[in-house]
Amino acid sequence: MIFNQLLANSLIIGSIYALVACGFSLIYSTNRFMHLAHGASVVVSAYMLYWIFSVLGIPFWLSCILTLIIASAVGFGMYRLVYLPLQKKKSSNVILLLASVGILILIENLVLLFFGADVKTIGYIQVQKGMEILGAVITPLQVFIIIVSVILLVALYIFMKFTRLGRNMRAVADNKELAGIMGINYKRIAGFSFIIGSFLAGIAGILIGLEQNLEPTMGLNLMIKGFTGAIVGGITFVPGAIIGSYLLGIAENFGIWWLPSGYKDAIAFILLFIFLLFKPSGIFGIDKGIKK
Amino acid sequence: MKNTKMAIVVGMALVIFLAGCNAANQGKIKVGAILPLTGSSSIWGENEQKGISLALEDLKAQGIENVEVITEDSQSKDAPAVTAAQKLISLDDVDLIYTSLTGPSIAVAPVANSSGKLHLYKAATQVPINNFPENSLKTGYYNYEIDCSVFGELLAKNNYKKIAYVAAKKDFSTECKRGIANSAPSVAIDEYSYEVSNEDFMSILTKIRESEYDAIVITGYNADFLKFYSKMSQLKINTTVLCAGSEDCLSENPDLMPLGMVYFGAYIDNNFKEKLLAKYANMSILEQSIAATSYDMVRFVSEAYSVCPSRQRECLKKAIQDSKLDTAIDSEGFQGGSFLKLKVRLFEVNETKGVIELK
Amino acid sequence: MIEAYLIHLLILIGIYVILAVSLNLALGYTGLLNLGHIAFFGVGAYTSALLTKSLGVPFPVAFIAAGLFAGLFGFILILATKKLKGDYLALATLGFSFVVYSLLLNWTSLTKGPLGIPGIQKPSFFGLAISSNVSFLIFVAIVCVVSCFIIYKIIKSPFGRLLEASRDDEVGLKVLGKNTFKLKAKAMIVSAFFAGIAGSLFAHYISFIDPSSFYITDLILILTIVIAGGIASFKGSIVSTFIIILIPEGLRFFEMPSSILGPARQIIYALILLGILMLRPKGLFGRVDLE
């Protein structure tokens, strides 16, 4: 049935966007600025997995663990080397955003420099035949990706609401100075947010790298889509980013059933534009801290 | 203070440019090659350079050292290609210009024309030779209208009624469709167009799966074809695929390609292949064919120069058009026309995932 | 011998100066975080190209129409983003440039999509054609000087001071009864107008345009120029354009393998951007910080 296949396609691509969006949203909700270089963390992770596993030949599971460590380190590095010094100079969010764009371009081109422009594949999973479920064809890897994103949805919700670190992150987001007075070290919390957020980027990089082929420019595209998903779902509510990404996936796939498929990106951009204009806090977000 | 700063900057720039203005190299004909060394099509530029190097080496081994090639980067885009052309024409004083890729070739054609420098190019487009017939020659790459008509014949022979045409949004797709329609006028063609490099084919293939097509014809580039094959396999679609992308259709991983896939390509001369692989290990068939066309370009120029020591444009052009050169990529020469006719053959991926020639 | 190459570079610099100065008007002087400037450039280029090629409109009319149509887009953008501030405004304008790019790419019946528009003719005024590069350079130089003069006059006028006031203290200005939205709209429309005519110059010079020239990567170039030159610094934008256009040209003369050259170009831009933001956020000549 077409409808079921379209739904399956929506869930698959929605999950991919969700993997990128949730880390981005976690970082935003703690730090209140747009870390667009998150896309670079995803690209670096995918290429690291390629390099460690496909080139150096290290066993797959070990490669994944190394990749996740590298991803977290890279994210943390971006915070300490670029964002923190800028924040110390009281830079505005716009400057941080432009800096993140600079980092994104820098890293993507470094990847291009070291790995070349040709398409690479991580040869862990051979060409997959889909399974037929309820009239839709889907591969085992794609099912796994959907399951992972749902797990992350639940886990992040629990984390942000019930754990001490999660609550501290929200406190820092709301009011840094007040949190400081209450004994929360906001630099440490911010650092943690980058580590965890970029760890999520690492997961995204691994799974997306397995599902799609690797190109140095994939970071920008994924970031735009992930960012749209996060805005739609409510950038201040982390699990919302995942739900927003699913909505984006649905809008794209059902939209291009009728429109020529070239309009897929246009749908995403228009959706982004509409939400930024009319409901910048997204579906689930709270209206705090948007108009300064 | 600011005026001084500005003057220093501009002065430094001028000094750098003047330094690059080298003394003219008498005795050698100079080709300005504008290649996509970076950007989205950098795989072309890299391999064209290999072809050029090999050609210069081979000529030297025969005692011929009459060609100098100066390479610039088009970045796979039009405006940088024009900048490169201006630099090559005015600073380096080249005798002719060579470009590859559609965008740069179209953009550079008028510049080459108004400077009276012969423009050789390798791209899928016919626009430069149509717009500037006295100044342009297409020395490489396929002529989609002619080559896709071979597909059309195949479709007609098998009595196919309805096909899906998965078309990249590029001008060669329009030409290919024309070619198919010419030789198979009774076939119904449903077109699904997509943006190169930016398509995952899930929706297109979902739609294709819903309808019953006798065959799928696809145009595009290697990265797109690979995505297409893997999604076809996932969605368990078994329709015959005709790939109008020549050697780009091939995958390093033979399991990826659909069984029974047909594509048109040209033979690469074995001698050339051996020399190429001896110098550069590990080149795929696509990369070899890219190197072959620029290899031939250098040899055309060298031969034309020996016939036209005056380096005059009309003379060079005629010499190349009349050339009987045994090209590295199997061709039937220019036949007096503006483009090189490649000898195109059909190949098929068979059960053992090898590639065999059809008919 | 060198002249043709230098002339070509100067023409490009002239076009980019107009883009930089007009962006600075909106970004630097009025405080409008417009990351969609490249969209106005593209709209201007396509308008001018389509009018002259498909409708045979005389160049002077197409040229002005390109500016006006881009100005219209500027108005639409400012109207749509009326309620946004700070980084949200920046992102909405970025989204706008993506939407425009998407339209250029997909509305093939109008724009021919990725195939682009080849064979755009050189400008001609009442039968007098500008055919050589030297005459084109003179034309661009005149347009550039006139545009800069107009923008300079705007900046130095009382209107310009109002714009800077609305950048620095919008609430204060509103208290005084000024309609800040009208101020911002005018600035944006003027900024977009000049970007549009720069686009027309670009299209008629390169003679072939396709959507790939108007994507986000080209926006980064313009943004870097403006930020490096300095927010709200007129001279800064001009000097910065020279430097940033000429540096990659200088790279040509160093023997670098091509696989390094391409990424190196973008890496240099990114490093310049990051360097300026981290070390000297006011840019070369700027007086104001980015808000």
B87 contacts on C by Cβ (under 8 Å) = 5, 8, 252
| Biggest distance spanned by C-alpha atoms of chain C | 61
Q: B354 or A218, which is more confident? A: A218
Tokens of C259: 């696989």
Q: What is the CATH number of the domain that holds B149?
A: 3.40.50.2300
Residues 18-77 of C with CB under 8 A from B: none
Distance from CA of B140 to the nearest CA of A (A): 22
B125 and B197 co-located in one domain: no
DSSP string of C47-116, one letter each residue: HHHHHHHHS---HHHHHHHHHHHHHHHHHHHHHHTTT--HHHHHHHHHHHHHHHHHHHHH-HHHH-GGG-
Task: State the pLDDT at residue C127.
Answer: 67
Instruction: Inspect the interface and report whether the beta carbons of B169 and C108 lie closer than 8 Å.
Output: yes
Say if strands B162-168 and B188-194 run parallel, antiparallel, or are unpaired. parallel
Task: State the pLDDT at residue C85.
Answer: 79
Task: State the pLDDT at residue B26.
Answer: 60
User: For C217, which residue in chain B has the nearest alpha carbon?
Assistant: B39
Instruction: Inspect the interface and report whether the beta carbons of C270 and A99 lie closer than 8 Å.
Output: no
B215 and B128 co-located in one domain: no
**Is residue B8 over pLDDT 80?**
no
Task: State the pLDDT at residue B25.
Answer: 45
- Confidence tier at A287 by pLDDT (50, 70, 90): low
pLDDT in tens, B45-54: 888 989 999 9
Max avg pLDDT among A147-156, A262-271, B276-285:
A147-156
Max avg pLDDT among A66-75, A220-229, B126-135, C242-251:
A66-75
Min mean pLDDT across A81-95, B17-31, C100-114, C118-132 is at B17-31
A86 contacts on C by Cβ (under 8 Å) = 277-278
pLDDT tens digit at each of 291 positions of chain C: 567 788 888 999 999 999 999 999 988 888 888 888 999 999 999 999 999 988 888 889 999 999 999 999 999 999 888 888 777 888 888 888 888 988 888 888 888 887 788 878 888 877 677 777 788 889 999 999 999 999 999 988 988 888 888 888 877 778 877 788 888 899 999 999 999 999 999 999 888 888 888 887 788 888 888 888 888 888 888 999 998 888 877 777 776 666 677 678 788 888 888 988 888 877 777 777 665
Task: State the pLDDT at residue B359.
Answer: 61
Residues 6+ positions from C4 with CB-CB distance below 8 Å:
B86, B89, B90, C133
Max avg pLDDT among A1-5, A29-33, A52-56:
A52-56
User: Quick check: C102 contacting B, CB < 8 Å?
Assistant: no
C217 contacts on A by Cβ (under 8 Å) = 105
User: Quick check: B127 contacting C, CB < 8 Å?
Assistant: yes
Q: Please check whether residue B138 lies inside any domain of the structure.
A: yes
**Is residue A25 over pLDDT 50?**
yes
B253 contacts on A by Cβ (under 8 Å) = 121, 123, 127
Of the residues C3, C7, C8, the best mutation for testing chain B's interface (the one with the most B CB atoms within 10 Å of its CB) is C8
User: For A34, which residue in chain C has the nearest alpha carbon?
Assistant: C87
Q: What sign does the CA torsion over A177, A183, A186, A187 have?
A: positive
pLDDT in tens, B197-224: 778 888 889 889 888 899 999 998 888 8
Q: How many CB pairs under 8 A join A and C?
A: 119
Min mean pLDDT across A45-59, A241-255, C120-134 is at C120-134
C-beta of residue B315 within 8 angstroms of C-beta of residue B307: yes
Q: A258 or C287, which is more confident? A: A258
B125 and B168 co-located in one domain: no
Q: Please check whether residue B281 lies inside any domain of the structure.
A: yes
Task: State the pLDDT at residue C174.
Answer: 80
Q: B134 or C133, which is more confident? A: B134
Q: Please check whether residue B291 lies inside any domain of the structure.
A: yes
CA A162/CA A3 separation, integer angstroms = 38
Q: A148 or B25, which is more confident? A: A148
> What are the CB-based long-range contacts (under 8 Å, 24+) for B347-356?
B347/B262, B347/B263, B347/B264, B347/B265, B348/B260, B348/B261, B348/B262, B349/B254, B349/B257, B349/B258, B349/B259, B349/B260, B349/B261, B349/B262, B350/B259, B350/B260, B351/B259, B353/B254, B353/B255, B353/B257, B353/B259, B354/B254, B355/B250
Considering only CB atoms, A269 lies closest to which of C85, C102, C290, namely: C102
Instruction: Inspect the interface and report whether the beta carbons of B226 and A213 lie closer than 8 Å.
Output: yes
A123 contacts on B by Cβ (under 8 Å) = 253
Chains touching C, CB cut-off 8 Å, 3+ pairs: A, B
- Confidence tier at B155 by pLDDT (50, 70, 90): very high
Q: Please check whether residue B256 lies inside any domain of the structure.
A: no
Structural domain of residue B203, as residue ranges?
144-244
Instruction: Report percent pLDDT > 90 for chain B.
Output: 40
Instruction: Inspect the interface and report whether the beta carbons of A130 and B235 lie closer than 8 Å.
Output: yes
Q: List domains and CATH numbers for chain A.
A: 2-278 (1.10.3470)
B50 and B185 co-located in one domain: no
- Confidence tier at B23 by pLDDT (50, 70, 90): very low
C-beta of residue C11 within 8 angstroms of C-beta of residue C137: yes
If interface means Cβ-Cβ distance under 8 Å, which residues of chain B face chain A? 38-40, 42-43, 169, 192-195, 197-200, 202-204, 206-207, 209-210, 222-223, 226-227, 230, 233-236, 253, 255-256
Task: State the pLDDT at residue B214.
Answer: 94
B105 and B174 co-located in one domain: no
Instruction: Inspect the interface and report whether the beta carbons of C96 and A273 lie closer than 8 Å.
Output: yes
B132 and B184 co-located in one domain: no
Instruction: Give the N- to C-terminal CA distance of chain B in Å, as an integer.
Output: 76
- Confidence tier at B22 by pLDDT (50, 70, 90): very low
Considering only CB atoms, C86 lies closest to which of A85, A93, A270, namely: A93
Q: What is the mean pLDDT of residues B78-96?
A: 87
- Confidence tier at B5 by pLDDT (50, 70, 90): low
Task: State the pLDDT at residue C122.
Answer: 82
- Confidence tier at B94 by pLDDT (50, 70, 90): very high
Q: Please check whether residue B23 lies inside any domain of the structure.
A: no
A262 contacts on B by Cβ (under 8 Å) = 169, 193-195
B135 and B35 co-located in one domain: yes
Instruction: Report percent pLDDT > 70 for chain A.
Output: 95
CA distances from C241 to A9, B104, B262 (A): 46, 24, 51
Q: How many residues does chain B have?
A: 359
Say if strands B215-218 and B240-243 run parallel, antiparallel, or are unpaired. parallel
B43 contacts on A by Cβ (under 8 Å) = 117-118
- Confidence tier at A103 by pLDDT (50, 70, 90): very high
Instruction: Inspect the interface and report whether the beta carbons of C270 and A86 lie closer than 8 Å.
Output: no
**Is residue A290 over pLDDT 50?**
no
**Is residue B19 over pLDDT 50?**
no
CA C181/CA C191 separation, integer angstroms = 15
Considering only CB atoms, B90 lies closest to which of C4, C243, C258, namely: C4
Task: State the pLDDT at residue B24.
Answer: 41
Chains touching A, CB cut-off 8 Å, 3+ pairs: B, C
Q: Please check whether residue B231 lies inside any domain of the structure.
A: yes
Tokens of A290: 């948007």
A98 contacts on C by Cβ (under 8 Å) = 223, 227, 273, 277, 290
Of the residues A9, A127, A131, the best mutation for testing chain B's interface (the one with the most B CB atoms within 10 Å of its CB) is A127
pLDDT in tens, A150-205: 998 889 888 888 888 888 887 777 777 777 777 778 788 889 999 999 999 999 99
**Is residue B114 over pLDDT 60?**
yes
Instruction: Inspect the interface and report whether the beta carbons of C262 and B19 lie closer than 8 Å.
Output: no
Q: What is the mean pLDDT of residues A64-91?
A: 92
Residues 6+ positions from B291 with CB-CB distance below 8 Å:
B47, B48, B50, B51, B54, B276, B283
B118 and B150 co-located in one domain: no
ipTM score for this prediction: 0.82
- Domain boundary (B244, B277, B298) is at B244
B277 and B227 co-located in one domain: no
User: Quick check: C251 contacting B, CB < 8 Å?
Assistant: no
CA B209/CA B93 separation, integer angstroms = 56
Q: Please check whether residue B349 lies inside any domain of the structure.
A: no
B223 contacts on A by Cβ (under 8 Å) = 119, 213, 215
B229 and B157 co-located in one domain: yes
B186 and B325 co-located in one domain: no
Task: State the pLDDT at residue B295.
Answer: 94
Instruction: Inspect the interface and report whether the beta carbons of A13 and B222 lie closer than 8 Å.
Output: no
- Confidence tier at B317 by pLDDT (50, 70, 90): very high
Task: State the pLDDT at residue C290.
Answer: 63
Tokens of B192: 């699904």
Q: How many domains does chain B have?
A: 2
Q: Please check whether residue B264 lies inside any domain of the structure.
A: no
B124 and B36 co-located in one domain: yes
Q: What is the mean pLDDT of residues B292-308?
A: 93
